[in-house]
Amino acid sequence: MRAITTTIATGTLVLLMSTQVWATDAGHTSEAMEHAGKAQAHGEKGHAKEALQHAKDSLTHAKAAGKEHADAHKHMDEAIKHLEEAIKHAEMGHGSESAKHSEEAMKHMRESGH
């Protein structure tokens, strides 16, 4: 039940955040948020393989967003660090720990302002 609630909350958050993101033409941040949310949800369900793929996809977009938005670079750097940790833990089969890092990554992405 918690995973369903998390998925719904993450989806709603991504939708709300993506509206502002589209307005500022920062598609990479939106994509990074979406994939990080999916990584978190899969990690909480214990689906390490799926969490791994979404964390990797999120990392790719987070790096691109960091390059595009120098003023938000600090937060995107922190998001990237957490996504790398999410990937590492998902590869080890630690879905729960991977989910925590995906969640932290999303916090930093939100704080980046993009």
Q: Is the pLDDT of residue 41 over 90?
A: yes
Per cent of the chain over pLDDT 90 is 50
- Per the structure, the count of domains in the chain is 1
Q: Which of 108, 112, 113, 94 is nearest to 36 (CA)?
A: 108
Question: Binning pLDDT at 50, 70 and 90, where does residue 58 land?
Answer: very high
Model pTM? 0.54
Question: Binning pLDDT at 50, 70 and 90, where does residue 110 land?
Answer: confident
Please state, as a whole number, how many other Cβ atoms lie within 10 Å of the Cβ of residue 108: 21
The CATH number of whichever domain residue 85 belongs to comes to 1.20.120.660
What are the φ and ψ backbone dihedral angles of 85, each rounded to 5 degrees? -65, -40
Output the CA torsion sign for 15, 17, 23, 25.
negative
Domain, as residue range, for 45 = 2-111
Nearby residues of 3 by Cβ (< 8 Å), 6 or more positions away: 41, 44, 45
